[in-house]
């Protein structure tokens, strides 16, 4: 629900989208950004009307665009019975207020749309805290707006109208206090997550993170590799919380894979910061599986966006394995040309479909190679009283040689995880 006045409520069903075309970008890029915004808006059960594209050289302080064009858009929104104007660019608090007065409807930007989607999808304590913190910081400078926050399911923001300066200052103090509380609570949750990470590191098991654009099939990939029951939906930001699963491999080996939150173009910096602890899985991982949707018309943009976010996190220098998912959906007429181009750009990439299982096996073999690199080759001589360690070696590694000498000692050559080396230390030869 959106408050249109203190004594009435109106549900937002239809929204007019407004995009901007600058001289340094192509028309197709502007269109793609608006198409993505439309998809984001649909995730809030709002129908996006045909968008308006404004050619712009320099933003203005009052409406971001000239007053004449602003009046045209306000009139167009009324003619199309739009209950909301949604801008594909960040608006300052004063610009939002100016638009709300001019258009007499709620006015939001891409950042607020993404915040609302995240709020609806948060399922764990950490995600809920991160979202509330980002939304509270977003609301703080916007307390004098005439329209409340877009979210219908999660209460809405602390925006008010006509309560006087004293009330606004009281609300600001309360919001600042809540921000401090949220930051303190998040510190506790992050310490718990750090403890979990350290435990994984002590286990000595290789750890990878699945990263990529939202809705490219990251959760589907984790499900295909692990067989675990994981939420898989054809929906933007279906996964907000990191999910880690053990992937069993041949020869008693295993790795850990973590599914991370999906990236999106123009991801608000506040959300990158809010989800830093979630995205840190990519920073701390031993390697990354970067998933791309090969059937998408925005494939190049997805690659650039993902790399930009990884660079911001400082994770772009890690070993990255590129995975093109959804090969079962590509246009067969253009397949040969597309694959030739991608093979040239990414000669070591993997091409698969998590839906059909095609191409998953080569990726599994790569994961087995990664795990094998982490295992150590040992040669030991076990006395008769410690033949129990032979069974342990068979259960936890791969045995290559096994011979008894005349004294009854057992000589073994096998691979084992570094964390288990200490069990054989006194018998290494």
Domain CATH number, residue 367: 3.40.50.300
Question: Among 349, 372, 395, which residue terminates a domain?
Answer: 372
Residues of the chain whose pLDDT is less than 50? 1-9, 149-163
pLDDT for 127? 77
Token readout for 176 is 């600042």
pLDDT for 160? 39
Residue 184 within any structural domain of the chain: no
Q: Are residues 160 and 291 in the same domain?
A: no
Give me the half-sphere count of Cα atoms (radius 13 Å) on the Cβ side of residue 221: 34
Catalogue the long-range contacts made by 135-142 (C-beta closer than 8 Å, 24 or more residues apart): 136/175, 136/178, 136/179, 136/182, 137/179, 137/270, 138/111, 138/112, 138/270, 139/175, 140/172, 140/175, 140/176, 140/179, 141/93, 142/93, 142/96
CATH code of 140's domain: 3.40.50.11060
Structurally, how many domains does the chain consist of?
3
Q: Are residues 354 and 386 in the same domain?
A: no
CATH code of 413's domain: 3.30.70.240
| Rounded-to-integer distance, Cα 38 and Cα 268, Å | 17
| Rounded-to-integer distance, Cα 427 and Cα 429, Å | 6
Question: Among 372, 390, 417, which residue terminates a domain?
Answer: 372
Token readout for 233 is 């939906």
Residue 189 within any structural domain of the chain: no
Q: Are residues 161 and 260 in the same domain?
A: no
C-alpha angle 95-96-101 in degrees, rounded to nearest 5: 100
What's the residue count for the chain? 429
Q: Give the pairing of strands 52-55 and 14-21.
A: parallel
| Rounded-to-integer distance, Cα 134 and Cα 270, Å | 6
Give me the half-sphere count of Cα atoms (radius 13 Å) on the Cβ side of residue 394: 7
Burial class for 112, CB neighbours closer than 10 Å (0-12, 13-18, 19+)? buried
Q: Are residues 87 and 129 in the same domain?
A: yes
Q: Domain span at residue 393?
A: 375-427
Residue 305 within any structural domain of the chain: yes
Find out whether 301 and 216 touch, Cβ atoms under 8 Å: no
In 29-68, which positions are buried (b, 16+ CB within 10 angstroms) versus exposed (e)?
Answer: ebebbbbbbbebbebbebebbebbbbebeeeeeebbbeee
Find out whether 193 and 126 touch, Cβ atoms under 8 Å: yes
Q: Largest alpha-carbon pair distance within the chain?
A: 98
pLDDT for 155? 42
Q: Are residues 312 and 402 in the same domain?
A: no
Q: Are residues 100 and 114 in the same domain?
A: yes
Q: Give the pairing of strands 47-48 and 52-55.
A: unpaired
Token readout for 396 is 């936890």
Strand segments (E) across 41-105: 47-48, 52-55, 84-87
What backbone phi and psi angles, to 5 degrees, belong to 250?
-70, 160
pTM reported for the whole predicted model:
0.70
pLDDT for 152? 40
Q: Are residues 32 and 154 in the same domain?
A: yes
Residue 197 within any structural domain of the chain: no
pLDDT for 74? 96
Residue 213 within any structural domain of the chain: yes
Find out whether 416 and 397 touch, Cβ atoms under 8 Å: yes
Residue 199 within any structural domain of the chain: no
Q: Are residues 404 and 366 in the same domain?
A: no
pLDDT for 204? 62
Q: Are residues 158 and 220 in the same domain?
A: no
Q: Is 399 in a helix, a strand, or coil? A: strand
Give first-to-last CA distance, the chain, whole Å: 72
| Rounded-to-integer distance, Cα 315 and Cα 211, Å | 11
Q: Are residues 232 and 100 in the same domain?
A: no
* Chain Cα centroid distance, residue 425: 42
Q: Are residues 221 and 364 in the same domain?
A: yes
pLDDT for 159? 38
Neighbouring residues of 29: CB distance < 8 A, sequence distance ≥ 6: 301
The closest alpha carbon to 329, from 352, 301, 360, 362, belongs to: 352
| Rounded-to-integer distance, Cα 131 and Cα 48, Å | 24
Question: Among 152, 170, 188, which residue terminates a domain?
Answer: 170
Q: Name the strand (E) or helix (H) holding 396.
A: helix 388-396
Q: Are residues 294 and 387 in the same domain?
A: no
| Residue recorded with tokens 């939304």 | 135
Residue 183 within any structural domain of the chain: no
Condensed to tens digits (0 to 9), the pLDDT of residues 149-203 reads 444 434 444 333 444 567 788 888 999 999 999 999 988 988 887 777 666 555 5
Residue 190 within any structural domain of the chain: no
Q: Is 353 in a helix, a strand, or coil? A: coil
Q: Is 238 in a helix, a strand, or coil? A: coil
pLDDT for 167? 78
Radius of gyration from C-alpha coordinates of the chain:
27
């Amino acid at each position: 629900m959106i408050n249109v006045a203190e004594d009435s409520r109106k549900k937002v069903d239809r929204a007019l989208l407004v995009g901007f075309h600058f001289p340094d970008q192509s028309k197709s890029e502007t269109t793609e950004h608006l198409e993505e915004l439309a998809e984001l808006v649909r995730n809030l059960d709002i129908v996006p009307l045909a968008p308006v594209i404004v050619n712009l050289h320099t933003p203005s302080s009052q409406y971001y665009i000239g007053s004449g064009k602003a009046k045209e858009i306000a009139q167009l929104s009324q003619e199309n019975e739009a209950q909301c104007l949604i801008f594909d660019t960040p608006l300052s608090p004063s610009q939002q207020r100016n638009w709300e007065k001019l258009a007499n409807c709620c006015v939001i930007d891409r950042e607020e749309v993404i915040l609302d989607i995240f709020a609806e999808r948060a399922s764990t304590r950490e995600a809920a805290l991160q979202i509330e913190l980002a939304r509270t910081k977003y609301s703080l400078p916007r307390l004098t707006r005439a329209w409340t926050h877009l979210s219908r399911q999660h209460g809405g923001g602390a925006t008010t109208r006509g309560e006087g300066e004293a009330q606004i200052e009281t609300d600001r103090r309360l919001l600042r206090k809540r921000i401090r509380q949220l930051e303190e609570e998040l510190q506790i949750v992050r310490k718990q997550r750090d403890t979990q990470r350290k435990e994984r590191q002590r286990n000595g098991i290789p750890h990878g993170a699945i990263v990529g654009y939202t809705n490219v099939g990251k959760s589907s990939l984790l499900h295909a590799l692990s067989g675990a029951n994981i939420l898989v939906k054809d929906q933007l930001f279906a996964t907000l919380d990191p999910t880690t699963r053990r992937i069993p491999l041949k020869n008693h080996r295993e790795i850990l894979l973590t599914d991370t939150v999906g990236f999106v173009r123009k991801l608000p910096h506040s959300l990158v910061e809010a989800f830093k602890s979630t995205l840190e899985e990519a920073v701390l991982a031993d390697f990354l599986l970067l998933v791309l949707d090969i059937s998408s018309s925005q494939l190049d943009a997805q690659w650039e966006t993902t790399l930009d976010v990884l660079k911001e996190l400082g994770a772009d220098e890690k070993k990255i394995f590129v995975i093109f998912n959804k090969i079962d959906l590509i246009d067969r007429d253009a397949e040969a040309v597309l694959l030739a181009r991608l093979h040239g750009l990414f000669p070591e990439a993997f091409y698969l479909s998590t839906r059909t299982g095609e191409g998953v096996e080569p990726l599994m073999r790569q994961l087995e190679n990664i795990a094998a690199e982490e295992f150590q080759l040992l040669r030991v001589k076990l006395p008769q009283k410690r033949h129990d360690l032979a069974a342990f070696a068979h259960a936890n590694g791969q045995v290559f040689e096994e011979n008894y000498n005349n004294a009854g000692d057992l000589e073994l050559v096998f691979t084992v995880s570094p964390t288990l080396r200490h069990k054989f230390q006194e018998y290494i030869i």
